[in-house]
Structure formats: structure tokens, C-alpha cells
């Protein structure tokens, strides 16, 4: 039974950090214990204590002076770090603004240093949270009054999601090397890490099926003056559109209808059902198979918009994951990457209901990415094949015979192997079309 009087776990952890900081004032409550003296300073204190003990035992007053000198020098060195050195605010800038898994990200730090003795050494470090690779540390140049310091380092994110950078810390040592001080500057900043975008092979092998920029969709409401199906004139129609021949034939005013062209649409489905991804947790990066699936979804969307499609990324029940990405719109694709940065498994199994979304229409390419796939699932998805120009199905954990059954139904299907080249998985599915089902 839960004790309702006990403070929450997060509150207790915060109290523990404050208590540790009260007992050990040289840390900031989040840092590891920090000893304010260097090896040289510690040796000076120990030698001073030894000299004081020996002076008391043998009655040698000179050793008392030596002990006091060592202690005073160490104390003054430590005090100089608190009353002479001053550091101001820290600002970070990231390039690019939205990092991508596996791609280098440049971080620029702008810090302000005020004062400091000549010869004092200072080492800086920008703390990196989980999901980063790289060295974010170095030596700080000698600080002058009101000097702005610009620092630069490069890191590489390894896991998508919202990752933390900071705080920025400086460890200052006095010119004699007796004492040191750790200073925490700035705050912890959150950086959005999007999934990687892999360049997938083009769909040039399927111009008749896929369409796209090679095959613009045209609704022929009228086919010219000689082969025209006109409609009745309505108030507001331009007089220039009146078809006099058709008007004489029908004994009433008839107008031409114009062609209406539209960009074909493609749909990418990410099945997020928890039962399909049993190894995935709520935090991004917990399941390698799901991470590969998210990478494939973004890469497929990027490939399709280059082919000339408006791309919708949805869940298995039709709910959108991000806004529609117009053909050739790189900015909208970047926003989709941000939307996919924090996506995780959620909801019930809706994959068998997917064919209902396309039952009354003829869609463009349909890319379905799921986790576990059974033979029964492949049979339930079969009706969707007749309503799409290019059906592609990827499963991370298919049962035996499930992928073959999907291919027999007409899907270009392939197994989504974690940490495998996504471009090769895409090519494998594309090469196993309807005409290759027997293979």
C-alpha cells in the first residue's frame, strides 16, 4: 500500500541534493564531490600540520612560521579564486538547429570572463547528457576584464529524442597550483534530435504505377472545344466560357469546364501499437527495431516528396503524425523530422482496419511500417493492395510465412532488420513486386 504521507520520489531526490550541498559546499548539488585543493595544496596543508606538530614536540619556533606560511599561502590561493575571478553568462548556439542521429552537430559557446590573475589556469567542460558522442572540454584562454570568450566543439547524437546539453562548468586553478574552484555557468538546454534521413533509391522503375512528378494526376472535367462535356451556365460564370455550339444544341446556355490538375498523394503509415513493438518503451531509443522503423518512415517521406508526391504520415487508424508534406517542400520535411523525434509506441492494435481507410478511393503509393506481422495480418491487409498505385509493406518482426503471404497478395514486402542499411531494405522490397511474387 502506498504511503500517501511520503514525499514524491523526485521531491526526495531534490531534498537529498540540497542536504549533500549543505554538508559539502564545494559542489552544486548535482556534481560529484569536489576537493578544493590540488595535490600541491593538499601537500602544503599536510606539511604545515606536520611542521606544527614537530615544532610543538621539539620546541622549534621556526617550524611554526613555516606551518603558518604554508597554511596562509594555501588560504590566500583559495580565496583569490572566489574574489578575483568572475565569470558571466553563457550562451549556446547549435548548427544545425535540429540535430539528426549520426550527423555531426557544431556547438558554439559564448562566455564572459571578468578579471583573473596572470598564470591562472582554467579548464572548461560542457556536460553532455545520454545520447551524445564527442569531447566537450578544453582549456580556457587567459581571461581579461570583460572579455568575451568564444568556444567551439563538435558532437554527434546517437539517439533521437530531446537530449540535454549542459551545464557549462569551469575549473579554475590559482597561479601557484594550490587551490581550485569549480564554477557552474548557464543552464541545461534541451536539443531536439531527429531521426536520420537515409537517401533511398528512386522510384524510376515504376513510373506507370507510382506516378508522382512523372505522372501528374489530372481530373478531366473538360477536354477541349471539340470533345467537351459542358455543364449548364450558372450565375457568376464568365461569358468567355460559354460554348455557343453546345448552347444551341441544348437550347440553353452551356459553359466549358476547365481541367483541374492536382499533385498525387502518397501515404506512409507508422503502426505504433504497443503490441506490435513489445520491446519498445515510452522513451525514444529503447528499441532498435522501432528506431529503424522511424528512420524508414522519414526516409520514405523524403523519397516520395522528391518523386513529386504530397506525403501524409499517419498512424494505422488514420490519425496524422505531423502535417501534410507538400511535394518538394524541404521545410515541411524538416518539421516532420521534428514531429518524429519524440514519437513512441502508443495505442491499441488498429492495423487490421487499415484497408477501410482506402476502401472508397484510389490512393497513390502506400508505405506501411509495422512491427510484429502474422499471416492473418497479411491476409487482412490484402484488400488495400487494389486501392494503391504502389503497395509497400515493412515488418520488423514477421511470423514465418507472413512476408511471403503479403507478397502473394501484391505487397512489395520486406523484413525490417534493426541496424541494417535502410536503403537496402527499401531496395529489397521494391525488387520483390507483384511480378516477382513467385520468386
Report the pLDDT value the prediction gives residue 185, as an integer from 0 to 100. 85
- 299, 350: one domain: yes
Residue 139, in any domain of the structure: yes
Q: Where are the alpha helices (DSSP H) in 199-268?
A: 207-210, 244-250
Report the pLDDT value the prediction gives residue 218, as an integer from 0 to 100. 43
Q: What's the pTM?
A: 0.74
Round to whole Å and give the CA distance between 316 and 348.
Answer: 10
- 42, 145: one domain: yes
Residue 398, in any domain of the structure: yes
Number of domains composing the chain: 3
Do residues 44 and 56 make contact, with C-beta atoms less than 8 angstroms apart?
A: no
CATH assignment of the domain containing 355: 3.40.50.410
Report the pLDDT value the prediction gives residue 143, as an integer from 0 to 100. 53
- 288, 398: one domain: yes
Residue 155, in any domain of the structure: yes
- 330, 432: one domain: yes
Residue 202, in any domain of the structure: no
Which domain, by its residues, includes 228? 220-261
Q: CB neighbours of 25 closer than 8 A, spacing ≥ 6?
A: none
Residue 2, in any domain of the structure: no
Residue showing cell 488514420: 318
Q: CB neighbours of 246 closer than 8 A, spacing ≥ 6?
A: 228, 230, 254
Residue showing cell 566537450: 136
- 100, 185: one domain: yes
Round to whole Å and give the CA distance between 402 and 49.
Answer: 78
Residue 4, in any domain of the structure: no
Report the pLDDT value the prediction gives residue 430, as an integer from 0 to 100. 85
Residue 382, in any domain of the structure: yes
Do residues 214 and 308 make contact, with C-beta atoms less than 8 angstroms apart?
A: yes
Report the pLDDT value the prediction gives residue 384, as an integer from 0 to 100. 94
Residue 230, in any domain of the structure: yes
- 95, 142: one domain: yes
Do residues 322 and 340 make contact, with C-beta atoms less than 8 angstroms apart?
A: yes
- 228, 171: one domain: no
- 28, 176: one domain: yes
Tens place of pLDDT for every residue, the chain, 439 residues? 334 444 444 455 454 544 444 333 334 434 556 788 999 999 999 999 999 999 988 888 889 999 999 999 999 988 888 876 677 788 999 998 889 999 999 999 988 766 555 556 788 899 999 999 999 999 877 654 457 788 999 999 999 999 999 999 888 888 888 999 888 888 899 999 999 999 999 875 554 444 555 444 444 443 443 444 577 777 666 676 788 887 887 778 877 765 444 568 999 999 999 999 988 876 777 899 999 999 999 999 999 999 999 999 999 999 999 999 999 899 999 999 999 999 999 889 999 999 998 887 888 999 999 999 999 999 999 999 999 989 999 999 999 999 999 999 999 999 999 888 999 999 989 886 544 433 3
Q: Considering only CA atoms, which of 316, 309, 206 is closest in space to residue 262? A: 309
- 184, 246: one domain: no
- 239, 178: one domain: no
Query: What is the grid cell recorded at 95?
Result: 548548427
- 112, 232: one domain: no
- 140, 288: one domain: no
Q: In what order do the strands lie in the sheet with 265-270?
A: 310-314, 265-270, 363-373, 388-398, 412-415
Amino acid at each position: 500500500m502506498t504511503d500517501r504521507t511520503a514525499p514524491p520520489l523526485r521531491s526526495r531526490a531534490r531534498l537529498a541534493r540540497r542536504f549533500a550541498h549543505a554538508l559539502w559546499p564545494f559542489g552544486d548539488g548535482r556534481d560529484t564531490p569536489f576537493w578544493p585543493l590540488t595535490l600541491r595544496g593538499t601537500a602544503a596543508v599536510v606539511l604545515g600540520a606536520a611542521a606544527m606538530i614537530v615544532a610543538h614536540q621539539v620546541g622549534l619556533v621556526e617550524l611554526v612560521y613555516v606551518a603558518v606560511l604554508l597554511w596562509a599561502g594555501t588560504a590566500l590561493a583559495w580565496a583569490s579564486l572566489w574574489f578575483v575571478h568572475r565569470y558571466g553568462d553563457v550562451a549556446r548556439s547549435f548548427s544545425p538547429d535540429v540535430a539528426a542521429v549520426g550527423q555531426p552537430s557544431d556547438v558554439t559557446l559564448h562566455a564572459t570572463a571578468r578579471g583573473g590573475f596572470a598564470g591562472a589556469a582554467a579548464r572548461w567542460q560542457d556536460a553532455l547528457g545520454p545520447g551524445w558522442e564527442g569531447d566537450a572540454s578544453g582549456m580556457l584562454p587567459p581571461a581579461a576584464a570583460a572579455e568575451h570568450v568564444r568556444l567551439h566543439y563538435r558532437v554527434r547524437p546517437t539517439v533521437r529524442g530531446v537530449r540535454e546539453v549542459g551545464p557549462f562548468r569551469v575549473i579554475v586553478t590559482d597561479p601557484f597550483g594550490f587551490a581550485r574552484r569549480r564554477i557552474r555557468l548557464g543552464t541545461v538546454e534541451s536539443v531536439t534530435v531527429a531521426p536520420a534521413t537515409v537517401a533511398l533509391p528512386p522510384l524510376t522503375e515504376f513510373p506507370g504505377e507510382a506516378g508522382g512528378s512523372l505522372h501528374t494526376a489530372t481530373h478531366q472535367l473538360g477536354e477541349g472545344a471539340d470533345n467537351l462535356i459542358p455543364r449548364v451556365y450558372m450565375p457568376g460564370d464568365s461569358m468567355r466560357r460559354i460554348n455557343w455550339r453546345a448552347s444551341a444544341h441544348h437550347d440553353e446556355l452551356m459553359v466549358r469546364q476547365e481541367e483541374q490538375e492536382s499533385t498525387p498523394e502518397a501515404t506512409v503509415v507508422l503502426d505504433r501499437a504497443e503490441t506490435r513493438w513489445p520491446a519498445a518503451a515510452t522513451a525514444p531509443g529503447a528499441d532498435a527495431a522501432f528506431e529503424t522503423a522511424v528512420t524508414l518512415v522519414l526516409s520514405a517521406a523524403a523519397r516520395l516528396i522528391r518523386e513529386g508526391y504530397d506525403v501524409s504520415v499517419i498512424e494505422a487508424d488514420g490519425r496524422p503524425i505531423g502535417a501534410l508534406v507538400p511535394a518538394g517542400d524541404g521545410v515541411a520535411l524538416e518539421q516532420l523530422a521534428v514531429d518524429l523525434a519524440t514519437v513512441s509506441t502508443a495505442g491499441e492494435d488498429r492495423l487490421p482496419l487499415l484497408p477501410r481507410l482506402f476502401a472508397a478511393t484510389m490512393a497513390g503509393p502506400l508505405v506501411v511500417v509495422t512491427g510484429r506481422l502474422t499471416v492473418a495480418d497479411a491476409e487482412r491487409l490484402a484488400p488495400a493492395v487494389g486501392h494503391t498505385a504502389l503497395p509497400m509493406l515493412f515488418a520488423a518482426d514477421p511470423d514465418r510465412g507472413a512476408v511471403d503471404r503479403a507478397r502473394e497478395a501484391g505487397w512489395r514486402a520486406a523484413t525490417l532488420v534493426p541496424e541494417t542499411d535502410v536503403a537496402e531494405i527499401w531496395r529489397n522490397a521494391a525488387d520483390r513486386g507483384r511480378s516477382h511474387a513467385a520468386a
